Every structure is written in structure tokens, then in C-alpha cells.
Structure 1
């Protein structure tokens, strides 16, 4: 994060609140010279609570005005992310947002030497109102960084990458990340609990046709890790088979879609379920 780039962008007119918001976001991610910005438009839209299309239009407008430039690409799991650079010199030439402000009259402060002076703006010494600082930037004020949640976001990003590295079938990444974030941040589920369940599910589905494996976003939204997560011991194949057989006997809603014919025949051969139970649960044989 660059306070220098952020300060320059903050006091310049861009002609659009959406353009300004996106440019401020980029400045918060940039180095002091405006370089080193790589973040997906989907993440910008989520953080700014805008539609992805609005962010795309704002980026296009900033590029057309030469306020930012595309300088390269960064590889990511879904292909690549465009790397941008803020053109600081172009930003500095924009009209200032503070040109229309009326400077404080030094006579009202009673102090022409001090940059910060306690005074009452009306000059009324008997006013019941408290004395206020006239200087807009109070000495000792601590500005909290715009990206104070970066540590949390970075941890979640690492967690997302670990999840997708293990999960046997990808799906809609944005929906999956949103569901994982809700589980961790709102429901209080630990990342390791979800990853443990994910690894167990991947082991269970090994060798199955992809069409029998749940999409990642559905698996997370249905909290399927609760059926597979372990805390200490590795998952035993016999335990997994017993859990699957129990789900078939109880006719749980997901078994018809996610238990393959091969898995069902194995359960029948082990006499854990019957052909009738499989058919009743909607499992194809």
C-alpha cells in the first residue's frame, strides 16, 4: 500500500465516482511510483460492492484517459491477471478536489505562526460550545491503512488455493470462495476442518467419473465436509464405505447424484446394502 499514491489520487477529480473508487482501490494496492497493481476485477467489484461490469467500464475509462496503463500479466489459477500501473504524472495534472475550498482566515484563529491552533471559529469567547481544532489534520491523528484487512484476506486466499489444489472437481470459483468465506468468517468453521473433509472426499471419489463428483460450490454450500472431516486419524476406506452405505440406507438426497454404479456394486458385494436399497435411494446400478 502506498500512502503517497493514495494521497495524490484522493485529491484529484476523475469525473466519476466509480472511476474514483476503482482508482483509489488501485492506489491502495500500488507502490509509491504507482506500479505493482494486480488484482482481479471480480475482487475489486466484491470489495467495492459494485457490479463487475461497472468495474470493467471504470477500468476502460481510466485506460482511455491514460490515467492507468497495462504493463503485463501475472499468472494465476484461472489463467492470468492483468498488471496495471497508475500514471502518477497524469494524475497530478487532473483538477484538484480542494481548489474550491476557502482557506481559513488567520484572523479567526488569533494565531498566525502555529499551523494548528485551538480556537472557536466564531470568535465568541463565551460560547457554550467546546473549543475545536481549526487545522483539518490534527497533530497525532493516526490514519488506519485502507487495507487493514489484508492479513485476513491473504490468509483466506491461501486457504482457497489449498482447497482447490485438493478438491477433485472444480466449479464456479467465485461462488466457491464466497461459500468458503461464509463458512469460515460467519459460521466459525476452521480452515483445517474444511480441508480435512475435502481430502477425505477426494480420496473417496478417486477413480470415479467426474460427473459423479459434486461441483465445488455445491459441496461447500451443502457443508459436505461434515460427512468426511476428521480430526486426528486418517480416513479408513472401510469407514468411508460404511458412511456411504448408511447414506444409501437412509435415502439421503445426495446419494443418487454422487454415488457411482461401481461404488454401489462394491457396497452390495460387501453386503452393506441391498440392490433394493440402492434403487430406492435413486442410485444407478
Structure 2
């Protein structure tokens, strides 16, 4: 099959992640249109390759990927429409979440400011159902346009989709191409609320080191960071990988961290917390690798 776009080979993935950890990808492409995206999926299916969909590269640790990595950063764009006291906003998957938030705020939209500070794309935020300070992306979602694993476009309504805490039906239901949101117009100024969110985020998150964000999901009725700290993991390291000295649930790269070191660190932490507290922690960060005959599959990151 002849592709009508640039396909890079043997690409190092670390620069495309916020943790700056990554192996090599067999192929990497950055489509800029829906047709190019569909063409890439057809190519991967014909070649029997796994497909990794990568946005801003936060919340993920990448090993070697013997398949096709699709970066969505060129698939970006926003449309805003006023409907009475509400805003309807459509965003392509590669649009930075920060750009969506800035646009919604400029139009006086409520709620989304709580997600400020996430280094994510819209598609990635939907796929992980990103959330903070009492709000989740799915709270504002009305529909999603996806490219199904068969390479066909499909529009899915919010009520058809099962979202959970940091979970969604994607990429199993398809690759998120566009998300449509609805926001209530605020009755008062929002800038002070935004500043407060950013202030709180800055106070609890590590600065100056590459990070993927939270390593583990908060267990019901508790906090992963407190459990990890109580078990001695604040600032704990395995090689170059470790937990932040500022917040025990933040995975950071102290320098030269490898995929294997991150995996060892997370396994050690989850085993120790289970042993000492009886709580089983579930990873929030995704560890993704594909080696050898992996076969066709859509993989989200």
C-alpha cells in the first residue's frame, strides 16, 4: 500500500512524552486530515501492526513499540457557537486542552477552568476522562466523532458512552477525532477561579523535572499519595525513575530513567502498599510497549 504522507522509521519516543522516557517506534506519522488518519489505519490493518494513538504524551510511559505510532498534534481546530445561555464547542483531537480552556473562558463558559494546567490534547483528555477539582471532561461532553477500528467515521452521543474515574470506552470504540462540548455561561468573572486552580496545582505538583503526572488512581475514600507517603515512597527512586519529593503520587524522571525502571518502581510501590495497608492501587499512568508479533490493535495513550 502506498501512503500519501511521511512515515518515519525507527523513531525515538522519549521526546514525545512529558516524562521523557521512551523506546523506539517502528513507524511514526502525524496526520493532518481525517483522510490521512483513515489511510494510516488501513495501512496498519493491512500490515498487521498495532497502532498507538499519542496526543501530548502525558500520563504514559512508552517502551519499544513495534508498530505504528500516530501523533494527533496536527489534527487541531476549534469552533464555538452560542445557543442561548450555553456555548457549544467542537474541538479536533489534537487541539491542546489549554487552548480549549482559554477559548471557553474568553466566551464566558463555566466549569472547564477546573482542568487548567493539564498538558493534554482534547483527544487524550477525553480518552482518559481527565479530571480535577470536582470536574471531569465527560461532564461537558455531548458527542464524539470517532474513526472506528474498521477505519469508518462514526458519531457517538454522550449517553451511549460509559465513562468512569479516569476511564472511557476509547480506544476500544475507536480513535477520537472530534469532541463536542456544551458549557453553561458563567454569571460572574472566572479569571480569579482560574488563578486559584493554577495556584493549587502549582503548590502540589513537582516543578523542574519531567513528570507523567499521577502514577496511581485514588482508591475509593482515600488518596494514593498519602498511602505512598505513609509507606516511604515520597522521593523514592529506582535508577532514574522515582516519586516526587513534593507529592508521593507524582511519577518523575530524575535523569536517564528507563521504561524498565519505571515499571519496577510502580510494581514495587503497589506491592508494598498492598502489603502494609491492604489497599490495592490501580495505575493511572499507562505503560505501553509492543514487541514482536503483536498483531493489529488500537492502543490508547
The TM-score, its normalising length taken from structure 1, stands at 0.24
| Structure (1/2) with the larger helix percentage | 1
| Structure (1/2) with the larger strand percentage | 2
| Higher CA-based Rg | 1
The TM-score, its normalising length taken from structure 2, stands at 0.23
| Larger relative contact order (CA 8 Å, sep ≥ 6) | 2
